[in-house]
Each structure stands twice: as structure tokens, then as C-alpha cells.
Amino acid sequence: MNYPVWDVSFGSGLLIAIISVVHVFVSHFAVGGGLFLVLTERKAYKENNSQLVGWLKTHSKFFVLLTVVFGAITGVGIWFTIALVNPSATSALIHAFVWGWAIEWVFFFLEITAALLYLYGWKRLDKQTHIWIGWIYFLTAFLSMVVINGIITFMLTSGNWVESKNFWDGFFNPTYWPSLFIRFAFSLSLAGLYALITISRIKDSVFKSFVAKWSLKWVLPSFILLPIFAYWYVANIPVELFQSTNGLMATATQYATLISIFALITFLLALVYYFFTSKINLLFSLLILITAFVTMWSFEFIRESIRKPYVIANYMYGNSIYTESSDFDQGFSIEKINENGILNTAKWTSIKKIKKENSIQAGEEIFRVECLSCHTYDAYRGVRNRLIDRGWDKNITSQMISRIEHMQKGIMPPFAGFESERESLSDYLHNNISQSELSAFKSGKGLFDKYCQVCHQYSSDDPVFFVLTGADREEVEYYLTDLQGMNDLMPNLVPNSKEIEIMMDWFPKQFINQN
Amino acid sequence: MDIQTIIPSVDPISLPAPYWLFKLLLIVTFVLHIIAMNIVFGGSIIAYVAKLKGKTNDNFKKLYSDLAKKLPTFLAATITLGVAPLLFLQVIYGQYFYTSSAIIGWPWFLVIILLIIAYYGFYIIAFKGSENNKYLGWILLLSSFCIVLIGFIYSNNLTLMSTPQFWSQKYFRDPTGMNLNLNEYTLIPRYLHFVTAAIAVGGLFVAILGVFKWGTEKDYAKFLINFGGKWFTYATMLQFVVGILYLIILPKEQMMTFMGENIFATVSFLVALTAALGSIFIIFSSTKNEDPRKGIYIGTSLLVLVLVFMSIMRDSLRDSYLSEYFNPDLFLTATQWDVLGIFLFLFLGGIALWIFMLKVYFRKPNFN
């Protein structure tokens, strides 16, 4: 609304996802790996194991080259990317938490310095001082996680901040602690998993087994604790958000399944490796890193998906419209946009008034300011294919958009703007779709998928079947021809008579033995 | 399209400290960032020259390897010190900065990729610098090129940020972010102004290396001071041409900022100019002295002064460009004293810890 929308052809959301996921997989290693380095070094000195010190020198070089370069720059990269893709939300996070960011910067600066001194210090520092530098590294890396965790969790569970605008209300929000425990436990397990890469190159098999066993001891307990922390985390997420993982939203559900499977595989692989340490080679270590990567990736994707429709829960929608109208919303709230129109409100639209000849172009601009933050037209989360698959024509599309906030239990923000603007949006969406491309449905289930499935589930406890199972044909017809009369939350859909006929036969028979 | 209506509104969340504090932090951290950046930028170019000359001359060979070892560390410093000014910039100038960034979205995003390439390139050079490998020269050149390009993209973004009148034509012509700010006629002089400064500071850095080597390798140290001093002197003399060209090419209103219209900016300009002249004179004459160390110290202090005042000028220039659109009085302020206090405490404590760590690291090795 306030800023120009950067139109990334393959999807700006995907760009953020890629850069964030690769970053977290390294940045968590940077935290847990720090503790791993100091405790392993202490162990080496205690046991007078010079071979272990030798391996640590190699491993710490790998550690620094990965975390200080790739980890740090992709971290800055996330910041660059979110500022490009969602400036309003970035600005809100910056303004609400400037001093948090500034504190994190202090830790970041110390962390990078300590990492370099630790690496170069093998040659010039005495053992005691070297370990000390290692501790400073770990503590500052951990503390930067402590800070950033407050801001990330705030986006999902903004707590009382929305009312109070108090720093601490936002920072210590409901998912702060469980998230910190999950991230820290995961970072410890990554310390052990990444170590396998440098371990796989050790020639001496007795020593290799020794280091591998020590490293895998960092993985196994963390993976036992992670489900407990995950349960605690989920318990603090508002129920209506977490429902998304339960079949209502494809992405969230998919990743909820993936995370359970891949966490288990990673745990089992680590267990197997523990008993066959001498067999660990580069391929095996990469394999377990990949399974761990999918686990982490799923975690971040679940968090991102269940946060929808918000970018900052209860404050700002993904398309940077404010959820509530207030004196400070600058006109960018749903309520005010509905009064003034989206084209008049959004600063970065060239068309302000819709005419017949510019309707499609206006629709494209509306798509850009209201939809592009999550969707593309025909790439990542592409809308075109969804319309075709569901068989929605221009009219159905427009009606569905009018109640879009109820789709899949509310994972999308409401459409903001005039009815004419909604029509323009549908014009644009259908400009490149011919009627013949739309899927045609002739079965009852097909029509259910076409008209109902975006909000209702094919399940006997869904209100639709609660009402229509076992109903008379006329009763079904009565409801289907006046959806809004039954419930104003429904879109004003008008199936044709043939479709109604099919559904009149189909609905009453579903789940008949259960209801 | 009306420019005022297209400029994004100020974020409705109040500033968590007074405006002047952000401005102060922005300028202070920017100066630190620019010093580290100059050393990497200038240092990598000088390292490449030394690499070429090192085929026949041992001093150059040594200089190349000394610089190569330090480049990754100074790039790390540039990045970490760059995060802070980028943060404070977003606090008070976000509405301009986010907009110009989005308009040049892809080049701006490219900075991250270029940085990763440059960084790993520098590390390869640092770890394998002494090896006789013909690819190393190319890798160094590639890394330097990435740094040169990053600087250029920054100049594009920061000039575009200050000129909202050009935003809409660029954005609506191409909303996919494939833009630069090449039609801004002050872009090239401004960029050259920064490049020349970076080369000068890189030269001075070589001379400072000489000062540190004075006690142990006097001949090599003299070579460094002479060679670095020359780079510094010639580049800074050239800077007088480039800088003045940049000044006179500025729109009249902006030029007048430094010509009496804004007393603060004018005084900064005069101080910077005098200090720059002083540093050229002192450093150039000290390279002829038997013991040039004192001259290098004084010249360096003067140059830091130049950088501080030039950074203040840079800020005044931005405010002059934005004067029609930007009014700091519009910011609502609700200072978060508690968090601010924690930050200041950690900031000062962090500096102390940082100095302590470096002190411990650089004291004589003492193996137990």
C-alpha cells in the first residue's frame, strides 16, 4: 500500500523462503557449533588428546568459513530481501524493536570478532585464552539468537503488543520460550551433524569412531527433547492458527507430515551411525545433513504458513494492510480501503479510476498490491492454475474473492476495495484463461470440490454435511440457490441448473450411515 | 503523478528514542563502516597491483601476501560495521530507502551474491596466497571487481533514495526491479568520489602497515611507507579534482548547502578541506623523513577527521535533497528508556570486551 511492490516473476515469497532456509541451517550451526568447539577443546586438553586438537583445528576452519561468511551474509541477505518484499512489515519490526536489533548487532559484532580470533588464535594464543575466546564466541552467538528469537516469534504471536506497543510485551510473547528451546536444541544437534563432514575425512579409524561417537552424542538427546519442546510450542500457538496444519491448508499440512517423518529419519540415522561409526563417509554425512535440513525447513515453513493471513499477527496482513482501523493506520486498514477504494489508497498504482478500457490493467495493479506478497499469476503459488483446476469462471472468482477471508478457515486476508475493483481483479485474472481451459466437473464430488472445498471439508462433521446429509432433494436445492440467505459469510455462488441437479442427488447420500 | 502523494508515509510506530540520537548513531557507525570499506576496496586494488609487480620484486610479493591475509578480516569488519548504519538509516529514512531499494530490486539483491563471491575469493587468496598458482590473480581480480560493483550499486540506491521525483517513472516502466539510477548525472562523480577516497585510504593503510613493521623489518617498512604514502598522496590530490567536480555538478541548491546556505555543512566542508590538505602535506613530507612514523600518525588522525566531516556533509547533502519532502518534526517519539539503557550498556561493554580481546590476541605469544 505504502510502498512499491517488487514484482518478482517467480514469486517473492519463494525468494525469502530460499534465502531464509539456507540461512537458518547455517546460523543454528553457528550457535550450537560454538559450544561444541569449546567443550570438545576442553575435552581434548583434559584427556591430553593431541589428535583431537588437530581435528578441531581443521573443523574450526570449516566452521568459520561456513558461518562467518555464508551464515552472516545470508543473514544480512534475509534483511535485504524482507525489506524489498515487504517494506511495511520490515519497517514495523525495525521501529518496534530498534534497540533489540541494535543489541543483536553488538552481539553479532563480538561474535564475528571472536570467531576469527578463535580460528587464527590456534597459532598464537595459549590454551586457556583460546578456550576463553571460544566461550565469548559461543555466548555472543547464543545471545544473538536470544534476541532475534523474540522478533521472529513476535510475528507469529504478537501477544499484548498490539494494544500496549510495549517492547517487552512483543518480545516475550507466548511462543518466545518454547521457540528458543527448540532452536537451541536443534542447534546442538546440528553441531554434531556438521561435525560428521570433517570426521568423514579422518583416516585413523579408531580415532574416527571416537570423534564420531562424541559428535553423535550431541544429536541423539536433542532429537529426543525436540518433540517435547515442539509440543510446548504448539500449545502456545492459538488453536485457530494451528488448525491449518490439520488438512485445512495444503502447505502447512504437508510440512507437518514432513517434519515428523524427517525428524524421525534423522534420529534413526544418527542412531545407526552411532553403532557403525567407522563406516561414516562424506556421502553418509551429507545424507543425514539433508534429512536434518528438511526437518528444519519444514519447521520454518510451518511457522510461516500458520502465521497466514498475517505478516505480524493481529497487526498487519501479508499484503501490508493493517488489520484494524485506527488513527495511525494512514488509511491502510481494511475498513478505510473499503471506504476509499484500493486504487485511491495504494500509493503505487498508476490507475486511480477504473474505466472499461483500463479494467484489466487496473486489475493487474490491484493484484500487485493485494496479492503479490504471497502469490504470482502463473509461477509460485500461481493463481492462474488454481482457477483452472477449480473450474472457476470470472463470476465465481469474483464471488469467491468477496469472501476470501473465510477460505480455508481464514488463511487469506479479506479483499479490500470497491466491488468494481474486485471485478477488475477478476477481469485481469481471467484475461489469459479461456473458458475451455477451465476444468469441468460432472460428479457430485467434483462440484463439491469446485464450489465448497475451499471452505468446507469432505467430512461428516463439517456443517455442510451436518445439514445436507439425508436431506430432501428440495431442501438441498433451497440451500444451494440461496447460499447467502442461509449464511451471510458465504459467497453469492449461483451454480447452473444442471449442477444443482447433480448436487441434489449427491449431497443427501454422503456419510448417510454415520449421521 | 504528484510526488508528495507517492512518497510513503512515515511508519506509524513511534521512534523509540529522539531523532537526533538515531542521526548521531547513523553518522558514527557510518564512519566506522566507511573506514573498513575503504581498506578492503583500496587494499584489494593495491594487492592486485602488488601481485603483478611481485613477479620481479620481493617487497611487492611480500606486500601482496600481507594484504591478502588481511582482506577477509577487513571485509568482515565492513559488513558487521555496515549493519548498524543500515539499521539506523531504516529507522529515520525508511520511507525513502525502502522505496528506492524496491525500484532497483534485483541489482540491490545482487549485492548479497556479490558479497559471498568476493568474501570466499578473499579467503582463497588469504589461505593460498603464497602458493604459485596462476588462478589466484584472477580470483583476486574477481573479488575486487565484486567490491567495485557493490559500491556502484550502493551509489545507485543512495542517489535514487534522495530523488523521489524520479521514482514513479522508473517503477512504472519496470516494476520487476531491473532498474539502476544511471540517468542521475551526479551518480558517476559521486561514485568516483568514493572510489578515489577508498584508493587513498587503501594507500594510507599500506603506509600504516609499514609503521607497524618499523621495529622488525625496517627496509620493508620504509618501502611500505613510501609506496602507500604515494598512493595516498596522488589519490587525494586527484580527489581535489573529483570532489570539486562533484560539488559543482550538484544542483545549485545542494551545492549552496556547502557554500554558506547551511553553516554547519559549510564549516564541515572547510574543516574537511583543510584537514585533507594538511594530511597530504604531512604524509608526503614524512615519507622523506628518516623516521616517518610520527608523520603517518598525524596524517592518519587528520584523515579520520576528514572522513568524519565528509560523512557529516554526506548527511547534510541528503537532507538538502529531501528538504521538500522530509520533516523530522513529524516523527512521534516514545523513548524506550529501559531497552535503550540496556543497549548503551551492552554497546559500551561490547567495545571494552572487543578491545580487550584484541589486546589479548596481539600480545606476544606465550605458550604454556
Task: Give Cα A137 distance to the centre of its chain.
Answer: 29
- Average model confidence (pLDDT) for chain B? 95
Give the long-range contacts of residues B209-213, CB within 8 A, separation 24 or more: B209/B66, B210/B292, B210/B296, B211/B292, B211/B293, B211/B296, B211/B297
The CA radius of gyration of chain B, in Å to the nearest whole number, is: 22
A130: pLDDT confidence band, cut at 50, 70 and 90? Answer: very high
* pLDDT tens readout for residues B297-355: 999 999 999 999 999 999 999 999 999 999 898 899 999 999 999 999 999 999 999 99
The boundaries of the domain holding residue A451 are: 444-509
B76 touches chain A (CB under 8 A): yes
pLDDT digits (tens, 9 = 90+) for B133-153: 788 999 999 999 999 999 999
- In terms of Cβ atoms closer than 10 Å to its own Cβ (0-12, 13-18, 19+), residue A385 is middle
User: For residue A55, what pLDDT is reported?
Assistant: 97
Mean pLDDT, rounded, for A465-481: 91
A70 touching B (Cβ < 8 Å): yes
The number of domains in chain B is 2
Q: What is the mean pLDDT of residues B206-224?
A: 95
Does residue B246 share a domain with residue B154? Answer: no
Q: pLDDT category, A107, cuts 50, 70, 90? A: very high
Return d(Cα A112, Cα A134) in angstroms, integer. Answer: 11
A151 touches B: beta carbon within 8 Å: no
Residues of B with Cβ-Cβ distance to A377 under 8 angstroms = none
**Contact between A87 and B353 using a beta-carbon 8 Å cutoff:** no
A146: domain CATH number is 1.20.1630
Considering the domain architecture, whether residues A449 and A418 belong to the same structural domain is answered as no
Q: Are residues B299 and B197 in the same domain?
A: yes
The answer to whether B73 faces chain A, any CB pair under 8 Å, is yes
* Pair (B253, B121) in one structural domain: no
**pLDDT value at residue A369:** 96
Is B196 found in the same domain as B171? no
User: Environment class of residue B321 by beta-carbon count within 10 Å: exposed (0-12), middle (13-18) or buried (19+)?
Assistant: buried
How many Å from the N-terminal Cα to the C-terminal Cα in chain B?
Answer: 72
The pLDDT tens digits of the residues spanning A195-220 come to: 999 999 999 999 999 999 999 999 99
Lowest pLDDT segment from A119-133, A472-486, B100-114: A472-486
Burial A271-290 (b: 16+ CB within 10 A, else e): eebbeebeebeeebbebbbe
pLDDT bucket at A253, cuts 50 / 70 / 90: confident
| CA–CA gap between residue A7 and residue A210 (Å, rounded) | 52
- CB of B11 within 8 Å of a chain A CB? The answer is yes
A235-244, A315-324, A394-403: which range is least confident on average?
A: A235-244
Chain A neighbors of B175, CB-CB under 8 A: 4-7, 368
Residue B263 lies in a domain: yes
Q: According to the model, what pLDDT value does residue B1 have?
A: 60
Burial category of A56 from C-beta neighbours within 10 Å (exposed 0-12, middle 13-18, buried 19 and up): buried
Cβ of residue B334 closer than 8 Å to a chain A Cβ: yes
- Domain co-membership, B146 together with B233: no
User: Residue B56 and residue B112: Cα distance in Å, rounded?
Assistant: 37
Whether A276 contacts chain B with CB within 8 A = no
Task: Mutation target for A interface from B86, B89, B90: give the one with most A CBs within 10 A.
Answer: B90
Give the residue on A whose Cα is nearest the Cα of B14. Answer: A95
Residue A134's nearest CA partner among A60, A75, A198, A197 is A60
CA angle A439, A442, A443 (to 5 degrees): 115
pLDDT of residue B368 exceeding 50: no
DSSP element (H, E) containing A150: helix A127-156
**Does residue A354 register a pLDDT over 90?**
yes
**H or E element that contains A312:** strand A310-312
Instruction: Tell me how crowded residue B263 is: count the other CB atoms within 10 A of its CB.
Output: 8
Would you say A38 and A138 are in contact if contact means Cβ atoms under 8 Å apart?
A: yes
Over 50: is that where the pLDDT of A141 sits? yes
Contact B175 A347 (CB under 8 A): no
Shared domain check, A270 and A399: no
Q: How far apart are CA A196 and CA A213, in angstroms?
A: 10
Q: How many CB atoms within 10 Å of residue B165?
A: 11
User: Is residue B148 domain-shared with residue B225, that is, in the same domain?
Assistant: no
Flag whether residue B339 sits within 8 Å of chain A, measured between CB atoms. yes
Q: How does pLDDT run across A307-327, given as a tens digit for each residue? A: 989 999 999 999 999 999 998
The answer to whether residues B70 and B147 belong to one domain is yes
Please tell me whether residues A182 and A253 are part of one structural domain: yes
Query: Cα distance from B44 to chain A (closest Cα, Å)?
Result: 18
Q: Mind listing the pLDDT tens digit for each residue in B231-285? A: 999 999 999 999 999 999 999 999 999 999 999 999 999 999 999 999 999 999 9
Whether residue A335 lies inside any domain: the answer is no
pLDDT at A497 over 80: yes
Q: Is A316 helix (H, G, I), strand (E, B) or coil?
A: strand
A401 and A492 co-located in one domain: no
Domain match, B32 and B166 both: yes
Shared domain for A424 and A480, answered yes or no, is no
Task: Looking at A307-382, list the stretches that DSSP marks H as alpha helix, in order from N- to C-terminal side.
Answer: 334-340, 342-345, 359-370
Task: Give the residue-averaged pLDDT of B194-212.
Answer: 97
| Angle at alpha carbon of residue A496, lines to A491 and A500, rounded to 5° | 85
Residue A5 lies in a domain: no
Whether residue A109 and residue B11 make contact (CB cut-off 8 A), yes or no, is no
- Identify residue B259 by its one-letter amino acid code: M
Whether B98 has its CB under 8 Å from any CB of chain A: the answer is: yes
Helix axes A127-156, B337-362, angle to 10 degrees: 150
Q: How many domains does chain A have?
A: 3
CB contact under 8 A, A98 and B91: yes
Q: Which of residues 209-238 of B touch A (CB under 8 A)?
A: none
Same-domain status, B249 and B142: no
The pLDDT of residue A247 is above 70: no
Instruction: Read off the pLDDT of residues A501-513 as tens digits, 9 standing for 90 and up.
Output: 999 999 999 998 7
CB distance A81–B109 less than 8 Å?
Answer: yes
Of B98, B343, B350, nearest to A83 by CB-CB distance is B98
Report DSSP state, residue A310. E
Nearest to B91 among A68, A94, A120 (CB): A94
B332 belongs to a structural domain = no
Candidates B7, B116, B357, B359: best to mutate against A (most CBs of A within 10 A) is: B357
Q: Are residues A308 and A384 in the same domain?
A: no
A126 and B367 within 8 Å at the Cβ level: the answer is: yes
Interacting residues of A5 by C-beta distance below 8 A, sequence separation 6+: A348, A368, A369, A372, A373, B102, B175
Do B103 and B210 lie in a common domain? no
Are B94 and B56 spatial neighbours (Cβ–Cβ below 8 Å)?
Answer: no
Percentage of the residues of chain A whose pLDDT score is greater than 90:
87
Tell me if chain B has a CB within 8 Å of the CB of A117. Answer: yes
Domain identity same for B270 and B286:
yes
Which of these three, A387, A405, A437, is where a domain ends?
A: A437
Selected residues 279-308 of chain B with any CB under 8 Å from a CB in chain A:
none
Task: Identify which of B14, B17, B123 has the shortest CB distance to residue A65.
Answer: B123
* Range with the poorest average pLDDT among A108-122, A233-247, A369-383: A233-247
Interface test with B, best of A94, A97, A372 (most B CBs within 10 A): A94
Q: Which residue in A8, A16, A61, A95 has the most chain B C-beta atoms within 10 A of its own C-beta, making it the best mutation to test that interface?
A: A95
SS3 A311: strand
A285 in the same domain as A175: yes
So what's the pLDDT on residue A244? Answer: 66
User: Cα-atom radius of gyration of chain A, to the nearest Å?
Assistant: 27
- Chain center to CA of A237: 14
- Judge contact between B336 and B323, C-beta under 8 A: no
Q: Give the pLDDT mean for A109-126.
A: 96
pLDDT digits (tens, 9 = 90+) for A61-73: 999 999 999 999 9
d(CA A277, CA A127): 29
| Residue A6 falls inside a structural domain | no
CB neighbours (10 Å) of residue A49? 17
The domain of B82 spans: 1-182
Segment (H or E) for A403: none
**CA distances from residue B27 to A285, A481, B33, B310 in whole angstroms, order as listed:** 47, 66, 10, 10
Q: Is B11 part of a structural domain of the chain?
A: yes
A101 touching B (Cβ < 8 Å): yes
C-alpha cell at B307: 572522513
Whether residues A477 and A453 share a domain: the answer is yes
Residues whose CB falls within 8 Å of the CB of residue A190, separated by 6 or more in sequence, listed in order = A25, A28, A29, A32, A33, A292
No. of helices (H) and no. of strands (E), chain B = 12, 0
Q: In this structure, is residue A425 part of a structural domain?
A: yes
Average pLDDT over residues A482-493: 90
3-state secondary structure of A333: strand
Mean pLDDT of the A460-470 span: 90
The answer to whether residues A455 and A415 belong to one domain is no
Pull the grid cell for residue B294.
610520527
CA distance A511 to A515: 6
Do residue A113 and residue B111 have CB atoms under 8 angstroms apart? no
